Amino acid sequence: MHTTIVEVGPRDGLQNEARVLPADVKIELIERSVAAGITRIEAVGFAHPARVPRLADAEQVMAGVPRPGGVSYIGLVLNRRGLDRALAAAVDEVNAVVVATDTFCVRNQGVTTDAAMDAFEGIAGAAADAGVRCGITIAAAFGCPFEGETPPARVAGLARRAHAAGAREIALADTIGVGVPGQVRDLTRRVRAAAPGVPLRFHFHNTRNTGYANALAAVAEGVTVLDAGTGGFGGCPFAPAATGNIATEDLLYALHREGVTTGVDPEAVAATGAWLGGHLGKPAPALLGRAGTFPPPPDRR
């Protein structure tokens, strides 16, 4: 089995850090990710610069990234203005975010969930007209810091609307890291029923040390695309006590030891995680780089 890693470190990994990294460092992070074998990268976010200042240089970053064949750069968008900027910057894909609960959605993007879905429908149509692949992330799909448990039926309903709007991919995000494997299994089956034929992707944070178990549960359900962030940095600026993404290098360790192929070099990613920690002024939360030599996967023949 093969799993595609979507590297979200350049966007989600940096948007909530104390240090603002210059564009050339972000570009080098992307270059290192490409060299390690990662082929889908969430390179930038087109949020309002006043709300998320660490992503204000999105156009400059996109102007400097390498453009090898087979590598796809994703731009995060929240509204039509963000889409227009993303298209002008020549991203390969756009990914829109809709938060599953109203309170969090208002804090994150200034509108209710229903209004954000209305905006997504317009974004998906305009992206299709431009010939650019458009996916959606349903954030806080497992739980909300303001409203508590997110009803699974609500997530399925949003997925149904996304499917009708033409979403090319649906990502379910455990934005605050409250999910467990049973929820992964349940949401996978509900969303597949609500949006038949649409590829499913998961985005996990490791707030309560369940992120990697959740990722493996998704793989066991046949999910073949997972988000992760080099070094394990990140978090949402609008979620209290938000912690980092599952670390790309640690996820690679788990997947490879399970016999899942990714095409990505975990030691190269671990070296990049340590390098990124130096720029951020703190050690990477990821453990692989500190655990010694990366052992080969076991022979399961």
Catalytic residue positions, numbered = 236
- The residue whose two tokens read 């570009």 is 27
SS3 53: helix
The span from the CA of 114 to the CA of 148, in Å, is 19
Q: How far is CA 152 from CA 62, 115, 159, in A?
A: 36, 19, 11
Cα separation of 32 and 12, whole Å?
17
Q: Are 191 and 170 spatial neighbours (Cβ–Cβ below 8 Å)?
A: yes
Q: 158 — phi, psi (to 5°)? A: -65, -40
The DSSP bridge partners found for residue 201 are: 171, 225
> Alpha-carbon distance 43 to 197, whole Å?
26
Question: Do the beta carbons of residue 179 and residue 172 sit within 8 Å?
Answer: no
How many CA atoms does the CB half-sphere of 145 hold within 13 Å?
A: 19
- What span, in angstroms and rounded, lies between the C-alpha atoms of 224 and 246? 16
